[in-house]
Every structure is written in structure tokens, then in C-alpha cells.
């Protein structure tokens, strides 16, 4: 069928079959070829631009106080189905008991928890396409703690050499105007090692208040054995991190944060800005059956965490925290026990003996 016949059958064909459209398509194809020739890889997300330091080396997300026991049982590996019971005693910010369940496939990830205070939390992720994932988190507070319920929704897109994300925290139009917090971020690889991005925040706590905006800039450079990142926020905060793998089992990281108070438009009228800064140095060492993390900051706070696998299904965790500036110390001791049916444990043991990874789905986290 000729192009003239197709144009007659489709009255909107003139929108794509014209010299301007053909030139734009040719330019787009040429641009894609040049990007592919650079050999760029996906740089990750703006949220995880410092993941090697803040999430892998540092123990901020792992430390705890008091006593904790986690009992987990897996019923299936593909799809993943697991339940857990968490008991705590003397732990700050953690309920005495929490029941949780997890279900995951290649396209779906669901997690729900219920604690003894009546707080319900739910998480649902769905992969609509290979690079498009939606995430929904709901937290329903009990009647004794009104106003603490949280609803968040995310939409993440991962391209060949970039990542884009849109997030909303407690969005609502019930007050007659759009309220909540909305965050949009974009991270682009410009060379095989260097990535640049930005993050924009729009927030409006209530309809009676005007909206507030902020813009942050992000840079990340990744080499073979070290990673450096920089984040400059619109409020005048600067954060830099440096990660290096010094040996096969040893990793170190440094985090420097500097905040300039009064960097807003009215800051000069208030007599200048106030400067606050802190530096944290941490290290991680992987033994054969254990992992040790330690960090110290410029405020005199020393923390350490030891995770020891004493049996194939039993892990002991020791956490210590000493703050010299506040003359305070915290200790934590935890045990984690994993259980599974015999046939499932045999499958895992055979995979480990063969040096193969367990046959688990790639869940959309």
C-alpha cells in the first residue's frame, strides 16, 4: 500500500508524514545512536546516589537498642511467601510485637504488618513494564494516635542511561486545594563514570498556607573501586560522600554534611547565616560468617554493629552506641531465626553446594 493511499485512509497522517516530522525523527534516531555509542549505563536513582556509604557501610539503618528477636518462616521461594514475628524489649521507637507477611513475584511485591498497638502498614509494588514500577505505602495509625497515618505513592522509570521518579506524600484535595509533598527527580549518566541530576520538591501542608518549593542538584562519579557523590540543596545544605573498597572484604566510607542557615532570600536581613557541619567515617569488614560495621562522627558519637551467623538459620546481632557529647550509651542484642519446610531447605542447600543462587523472582522493590 502506497503512502498516498495510507494518507487518504488516515486523516491525521499529515501530523507524522511531513518534512518537519521526518527531520525530528531523524534527529531523534541520530541522538539515540550517539548515546548508545557512549556505552552509558543506568546510574541508579537520586534517592540512592550515596547508597554505598549510607546504606552499605554505615549502620544507621541497622543499629538498635534493647533486646530483639525475629522469627521468620518461608513457605515458598518462587513466588516468595514469608511470615515473621518480631519481639522487642527496651527498644526505642519499636513496638513490643509485630507480625508481618511478604509475598513477591517478578511483577508484584506485597508486604503487610500489624503491631500490638494496632498500627497497620502495607506496601504494594507493581512492575507495569521492564522499566516502570509503581509503589504504594499505607500506614494506618490507631485511634489513640490520630494524625499519624501516612500514604505515599511513587512512580519510578528506569531507562538505559537515566532514572526518573515522581513521589507524593499524603496528597489530598479534600481541603479545596492540592496539599501534600511532591518530589520529582531525574538522574542522567553523561559519561561512563559521571552522572548528573536534580531533585525538585513542592509542598503545601494545608490549604491556608502557600506552596513552598526547593531544588537540589546531584552529582555522582563511579570508578572501579571508589564512588564519590555530591548533593547541593536549595536551602543551603551540602552533602558529600566518598566510598572505597580497600580490599576484597573491607569497605570504607566518609560522609560530610555542611548546612548554611539563613541562605534564603531574607537571610541577609537576619545578620548572616549560621553554619553547622558534621563528618562521619565508617568501615565495614566481611568475615566468613559475620559482618562488622563501625563508625564515628565529629560530634563524638561512636557506633558498632556485629552480625554473626552461628548456624545456617540463626544469626546473632550486637549493637553498641556511645555518645560522648551527651554522656549516653545504648546497647542492643538481637537474634534472628529462619525456618522453612524440609523440601525448601534441601533445595537451598543443593543450590549453595553447587555455587548457584536460589531460584527467586526479581521482585519490584
| CATH number, domain containing residue 287 | 2.40.160.10
In a domain, 27, yes or no: no
Query: Is a pLDDT exceeding 50 seen at residue 351?
Result: yes
Query: Is a pLDDT exceeding 50 seen at residue 1?
Result: no
pLDDT of residue 267: 43
In a domain, 227, yes or no: yes
Q: Choose among 256, 305, 301: nearest CA to 59.
A: 305
Higher pLDDT, 326 or 336: 336
In a domain, 180, yes or no: yes
Distances (CA, A) of 288 to 161, 310, 349: 35, 11, 17
Higher pLDDT, 216 or 37: 216
The structural domain count of the chain equals: 1
Gyration radius from the chain CA atoms: 25
Show Cβ contacts of residue 217 under 8 Å, excluding neighbours closer than 6 positions.
196, 197, 198, 231, 232
The whole-angstrom separation of Cα 50 and Cα 187 is 13
pLDDT of residue 35: 73
pLDDT band at 269 (very low <50, low <70, confident <90, very high): very low
In a domain, 66, yes or no: yes
**Model-level pTM greater than 0.75?**
yes
pLDDT of residue 352: 67
The verdict on whether omega for the bond into residue 79 sits within 30 degrees of 0, i.e. cis, is yes
Query: Is a pLDDT exceeding 60 seen at residue 272?
Result: no
Kindly state the average pLDDT of the residues 166-183: 93
Q: Choose among 251, 195, 258: nearest CA to 222.
A: 195
Show Cβ contacts of residue 133 under 8 Å, excluding neighbours closer than 6 positions.
125, 126, 127, 155, 156, 158, 364
In a domain, 215, yes or no: yes
Q: List the alpha helices (DSSP H) in the chain.
A: 3-9, 19-37, 51, 342-353
In a domain, 360, yes or no: no
In a domain, 34, yes or no: no
The whole-angstrom separation of Cα 107 and Cα 126 is 6
Residue 87: domain span: 41-353
In a domain, 245, yes or no: yes
Write the burial class of residue 269 (CB in 10 Å: 0-12 exposed, 13-18 middle, 19+ buried). Answer: exposed
Amino acid at each position: 500500500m502506497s503512502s498516498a493511499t495510507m494518507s487518504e485512509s488516515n486523516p491525521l497522517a499529515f501530523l507524522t508524514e511531513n518534512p518537519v516530522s521526518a527531520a525530528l525523527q531523524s534527529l531523534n534516531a541520530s541522538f539515540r545512536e550517539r548515546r548508545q555509542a557512549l556505552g552509558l549505563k543506568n546510574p541508579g536513582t537520586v534517592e540512592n546516589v550515596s547508597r554505598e556509604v549510607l546504606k552499605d557501610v554505615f549502620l544507621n539503618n541497622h543499629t538498635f537498642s534493647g533486646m530483639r528477636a525475629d522469627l521468620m518462616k518461608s513457605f515458598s521461594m518462587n513466588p516468595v511467601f514469608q511470615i515473621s514475628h518480631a519481639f522487642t524489649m527496651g527498644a526505642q521507637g519499636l513496638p513490643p510485637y509485630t507480625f508481618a507477611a511478604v509475598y513477591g513475584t517478578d511483577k508484584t511485591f506485597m508486604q503487610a504488618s500489624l503491631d500490638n498497638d494496632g498500627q497497620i502498614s502495607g506496601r504494594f509494588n507493581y512492575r507495569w513494564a521492564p522499566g516502570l514500577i509503581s509503589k504504594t505505602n499505607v500506614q494506618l495509625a490507631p485511634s489513640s494516635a490520630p494524625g499519624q497515618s501516612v500514604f505515599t505513592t511513587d512512580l519510578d522509570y528506569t531507562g538505559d542511561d537515566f532514572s526518573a521518579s515522581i513521589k507524593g506524600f499524603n496528597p489530598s484535595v479534600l481541603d479545596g486545594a492540592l496539599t501534600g509533598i511532591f518530589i520529582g527527580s531525574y538522574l542522567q549518566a553523561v559519561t561512563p563514570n559521571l552522572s548528573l541530576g536534580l531533585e525538585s520538591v513542592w509542598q503545601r501542608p494545608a490549604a491556608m498556607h502557600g506552596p513552598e518549593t526547593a531544588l537540589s542538584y546531584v552529582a555522582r562519579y563511579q570508578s572501579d573501586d571508589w564512588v564519590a557523590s555530591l548533593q547541593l540543596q536549595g536551602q543551603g545544605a551540602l552533602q558529600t560522600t566518598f566510598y572505597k573498597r580497600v580490599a576484597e572484604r573491607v569497605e570504607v566510607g566518609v560522609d560530610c554534611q555542611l548546612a548554611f542557615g539563613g541562605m534564603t532570600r531574607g537571610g541577609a536581613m537576619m545578620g548572616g547565616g549560621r553554619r553547622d557541619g558534621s563528618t562521619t567515617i565508617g568501615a565495614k569488614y566481611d568475615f566468613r560468617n559475620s559482618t562488622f560495621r563501625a563508625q564515628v562522627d565529629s560530634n563524638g558519637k561512636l557506633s558498632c554493629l556485629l552480625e554473626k551467623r552461628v548456624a545456617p538459620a540463626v544469626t546473632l546481632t550486637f549493637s553498641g552506641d556511645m555518645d560522648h557529647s551527651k554522656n549516653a550509651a545504648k546497647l542492643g542484642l538481637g537474634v534472628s531465626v529462619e525456618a522453612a519446610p524440609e523440601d525448601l531447605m534441601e533445595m537451598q542447600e543443593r543450590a549453595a553446594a553447587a555455587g548457584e543462587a536460589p531460584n527467586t523472582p526479581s521482585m519490584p522493590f
